[in-house]
């Protein structure tokens, strides 16, 4: 009887422990992490690399012609020096307001976005007199650039359960006696109207889903409309049929290929030579000891395969389930004194119909509260960046670290009180990531 009970207990224990976690694959070899075969991954990458022209629907307003143009260092899906321009102003109500940008000699106003596109497809041969170049109105006193982010390994980030971030935020706040309290932001899943998820992508955590982000980027960076974002920013000098990107013969849109390309990418690998130096190892210990890792969380684990994510539209596959990875971020929003005061623009990121839908757990106040906050920059792959922080204006790692104040003020003081050689050890460690 006793033996039976012991066996039963053991079985229960084993079942709840489930299969072991395994390490997420890393590397820059353009090979799949196991989500798809390498040929499919290459075909998805070709879509990501493809240059779009006016006949494909590029523009009318846009920033670049391919995803790769901004996400390429050291390989497709990586990062780059490319920035985008965002502006707005504070109203008498002390809230942030989006700009109204007049184009075509004042005959049209572009609103509902903070993004100011850098390029336009006209004037051209067919529309010689149509002037739609966007400019920053003088009224918009809040102005910033935001630098492109790396996408490699983001499939693992997407596969982390909402609850993991919620728990992390709770423990972080409790563990620091409320000095460091990352904010969780529920954001719309555009492909699942009404559903939200914990934001984890973009400098402002504006998306939780890679399909949503891909649709947003395709429209706002390249001007290509899709099933998720069917409305052009302006119809002026627009000739391509809508949506510019209809589903292909396999039922997948380009945005599905982009999302699958990112999901199948391997996480950034460390610089194996630097990572082994005793200086970097010492820096790694100090990074923990002085509290950098409170926000730049070293290790996360994805939800088990079979878990539903993105409002039920995405089932975590085997290749992404129970994977341990090292992003050096909590993916939460913090005020470290660098915020630009820009609140996430709703229509730009979630589509023109966003206000006609009731979104679960959605709170405009939470978005307002995040105005001056930035997501903890994931430090995996930071060695491929030489323009640091959200605005790209810090050009060395030391400059970036010294800019931390607010919630990170105490930690920064601890960094500055370290000996020169200890500080350098931390910087060497960062250079190995
Ligand atoms: C003109 C440059 C540019 C182009 C083109 C571009 N992006 Fe980006 N991308 C950025 C910038 C800048 C950010 C950071 C935006 C922010 O949060 O404000 C970003 C962020 C992202 C992120 C979030 C990554 C993370 O880890 O948080 C994803 C996903 C993404 N882009 C996908 C795409 C896809 C897919 C395409 C092609 C449809 C694309 N991008 C085209 C500049 C670009
Ligand atoms: C309170 C949370 C917090 C703490 C503590 C913290 N950071 Fe950060 N870190 C951030 C946020 C948020 C950003 C992004 C800020 C921005 O872009 O304006 C960031 C950005 C960075 C960047 C720039 C990365 C890039 O891609 O541009 C580096 C490097 C960095 N942190 C290193 C450190 C080091 C080293 C420490 C410890 C001395 C530290 N951080 C402590 C939240 C934190």
The answer, yes or no, to whether any atom of ligand 2 lies below 6 A from the CB of 147, is no
Q: Indicate whether 1 pLDDT > 80.
A: no
Nearest CA to ligand 2 atom 15: 389
Q: Indicate whether 388 pLDDT > 50.
A: yes
pLDDT in tens, 77-133: 999 999 999 999 999 998 999 999 999 999 999 999 999 999 999 999 999 999 999
Q: Which atom of ligand 1 is nearest to the CA of 157?
A: 26
Q: What percent of the chain has pLDDT over 90?
A: 93
Overall average pLDDT of the 323-341 stretch: 97
Span from the CA of 82 to the centroid of ligand 1 (angstroms)? 10
pLDDT of the residue at 11: 44
Task: Give which of 312, 69, 350, 32 is closest to 202, Cα–Cα.
Answer: 350
Q: Indicate whether 326 pLDDT > 50.
A: yes
Span from the CA of 302 to the centroid of ligand 2 (angstroms)? 23
Q: CA-to-CA distance for 408 and 165, rounded, in angstroms? A: 19
The DSSP line for 401-412 is HHT--GGGHHHH
Overall average pLDDT of the 235-263 stretch: 95
Span from the CA of 278 to the centroid of ligand 1 (angstroms)? 36
Overall average pLDDT of the 297-321 stretch: 98
**Cα 116 to chain centroid, rounded:** 19
pLDDT in tens, 126-150: 999 999 999 999 999 999 999 999 9
Overall average pLDDT of the 387-409 stretch: 98
Q: Indicate whether 67 pLDDT > 50.
A: yes
Q: Indicate whether 6 pLDDT > 70.
A: no
Q: Indicate whether 420 pLDDT > 70.
A: yes
Q: Indicate whether 14 pLDDT > 60.
A: no
pLDDT of the residue at 339: 94
pLDDT of the residue at 140: 98
Span from the CA of 181 to the centroid of ligand 2 (angstroms)? 14
Q: Indicate whether 331 pLDDT > 80.
A: yes
Overall average pLDDT of the 413-425 stretch: 98
Span from the CA of 339 to the centroid of ligand 2 (angstroms)? 12
Instruction: Tell me the pairing of strands 142-147 and 314-315.
Output: unpaired
Residue to mutate, 80, 287, 400, 412, ligand 2, most ligand atoms under 8 Å from C-beta: 400
pLDDT bin (cut points 50, 70, 90) of residue 363 is: very high
Q: CA-to-CA distance for 380 and 377, rounded, in angstroms? A: 9
Overall average pLDDT of the 283-310 stretch: 98
Buried b (16+ CB within 10 A) or exposed e, 220-259: bbbbbbbebbeebbbebbbebeebbbeeeeeeebbbbbbb
pLDDT of the residue at 161: 98
pLDDT of the residue at 18: 55
The answer, yes or no, to whether any atom of ligand 2 lies below 6 A from the CB of 411, is yes
pLDDT of the residue at 248: 84
Q: CA-to-CA distance for 371 and 165, rounded, in angstroms? A: 20
pLDDT of the residue at 145: 97
Q: In angstroms, what CA-CA distances link 195 with 154, 189, 356? A: 21, 6, 13
Which 3 state secondary structure label does DSSP give 303?
A: coil
The answer, yes or no, to whether any atom of ligand 1 lies below 6 A from the CB of 82, is yes
Helices (H), 264-361: 272-275, 278-289, 346-350
Domain coordinates of the chain in residue numbers? 21-431
Q: Indicate whether 3 pLDDT > 60.
A: no
Nearest CA to ligand 1 atom 11: 148
Contact criterion met (CB below 8 Å) for 432 and 383: yes
Residue to mutate, 62, 66, 68, 71, ligand 1, most ligand atoms under 8 Å from C-beta: 71
The answer, yes or no, to whether any atom of ligand 1 lies below 6 A from the CB of 376, is no
Overall average pLDDT of the 294-322 stretch: 98
């Amino acid at each position: 009887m006793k033996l039976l009970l012991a066996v039963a207990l053991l079985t229960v224990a084993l079942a709840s422990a489930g299969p072991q976690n395994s390490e997420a694959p890393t590397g820059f070899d353009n090979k799949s992490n196991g989500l798809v075969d390498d040929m499919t991954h290459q075909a998805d990458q070709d879509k990501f690399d493809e240059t779009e022209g006016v006949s494909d629907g590029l523009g009318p307003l846009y920033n670049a012609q391919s995803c790769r143009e901004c996400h390429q260092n050291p390989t497709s899906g990586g990062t780059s020096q490319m920035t985008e321009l965002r502006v707005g102003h504070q109203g008498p109500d002390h809230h942030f307001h989006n700009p109204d940008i007049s184009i075509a000699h004042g005959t049209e106003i572009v609103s509902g976005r903070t993004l100011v596109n850098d390029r336009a497809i006209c004037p051209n041969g067919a529309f010689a007199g149509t002037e739609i170049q966007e400019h920053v109105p003088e009224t918009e006193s809040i102005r910033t650039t935001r630098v492109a982010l790396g996408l490699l390994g983001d499939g693992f980030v997407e596969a982390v359960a909402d609850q993991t971030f919620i728990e992390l935020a709770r423990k972080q706040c409790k563990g620091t006696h409320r000095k460091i309290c990352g904010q969780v932001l529920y954001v719309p899943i555009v492909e699942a109207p009404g559903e939200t998820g914990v934001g984890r992508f973009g400098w402002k955590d504006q998306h939780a889903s890679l399909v949503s982000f891909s649709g947003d980027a395709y429209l706002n960076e390249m001007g290509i409309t899709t099933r998720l974002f069917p409305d052009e920013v302006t119809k002026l000098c627009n000739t391509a049929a809508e949506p510019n990107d209809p589903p292909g013969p396999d039922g997948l849109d380009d945005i599905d290929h982009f999302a699958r390309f990112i999901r199948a990418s391997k996480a950034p690998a460390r610089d194996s030579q630097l990572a082994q130096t005793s200086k970097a190892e010492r820096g790694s210990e100090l990074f923990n000891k002085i509290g950098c890792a409170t926000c730049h969380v070293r290790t996360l684990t994805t939800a088990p395969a079979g878990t539903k994510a993105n409002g039920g539209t995405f089932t975590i596959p085997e290749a992404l389930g129970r994977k341990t990875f090292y992003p050096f971020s909590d993916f939460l929003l913090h005020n470290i004194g660098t915020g630009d005061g820009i609140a996430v623009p709703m229509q730009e990121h979630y589509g023109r119909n966003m206000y006609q839908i009731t979104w679960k757990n959605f709170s405009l106040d939470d978005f307002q509260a995040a105005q001056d906050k930035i997501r903890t920059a994931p430090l995996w792959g930071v060695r491929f960046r030489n323009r640091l922080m959200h605005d790209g204006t810090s050009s060395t790692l030391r400059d970036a670290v010294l800019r931390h104040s607010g919630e990170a003020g105490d930690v920064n003081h601890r960094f500055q009180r370290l000996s020169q050689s200890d500080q350098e050890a931390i910087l060497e460690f960062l250079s190995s990531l």
